[in-house]
Amino acid sequence: MKNTENPVVSIHYTLTNQAGEQLDSSIGAEPLSYLHGAGNIIPGLESALSETSVGDKLKVTIEAADAYGERNDEQIQEVSKEMFQGIDNIEVGMQFQADSSSGPAIVTIKAVDGDKVTIDGNHPLAGEQLTFDVEVMEIRSATETEMEHGHIHGASCGHE
Ligand code: ZN
């Protein structure tokens, strides 16, 4: 089966940054499965995987704009420590999930100065050129419900 009309694609991938450091890999774990054409993965990777077949191996280098976006300084804000109630030790580098206008986002603590905390709402990989080594493991048709929901169903989906 070819990856053409909104199928579910399973891939093994290894992700490296521009410096050649490995950031993530599915090797040794379950492959990543996603609904193709639904914007579930970064745009540059999704378009590279169009029209691939099982067994295809590809190496794709994706500019920041087609990966996690450019860094935006407006996403860096100073907030009061009171925003982090219940957390005793706010430390630089800690990450929190926060709600943003474009859905859930990861916020990283950049600096702590007394009661003031500087947070960075940029995705941790924003501004980075990323390289994916990918192997297409499986391609299947999406079910009607998956198409309706815009994501795949399986072990990681709580509402099947
Ligand atoms: Zn669903």
Domain borders along the chain are 8-68+126-149, 73-120
Tokens of 134: 């990918």
**Distance of CA 40 from the midpoint of ligand 1 (Å):** 12
**Distance of CA 154 from the midpoint of ligand 1 (Å):** 9
The upper half-sphere exposure of residue 13, i.e. CA atoms within 13 Å in the direction of its Cβ, equals: 21
Query: Which residue bears the tokens 């990323």?
Result: 130
Average pLDDT, 10 consecutive residues per value, the chain (160 residues): 75 97 96 94 96 96 96 94 87 87 83 95 94 97 91 73
**Distance of CA 152 from the midpoint of ligand 1 (Å):** 7
CB 40 within 8 A of CB 27: no
Q: Which CATH class is domain 73-120?
A: mainly beta
Tell me the C-alpha distance between 135 and 98, whole Å.
Answer: 33
**Distance of CA 160 from the midpoint of ligand 1 (Å):** 7
Question: What CATH code is assigned to 8-68+126-149?
Answer: 3.10.50.40
**Distance of CA 155 from the midpoint of ligand 1 (Å):** 11
Tell me the C-alpha distance between 55 and 5, whole Å.
Answer: 18
pTM: 0.79
pLDDT at 3: 62
In terms of Cα–Cα distance, which of 40, 16, 46 is closest to 131? 16
pLDDT at 77: 94
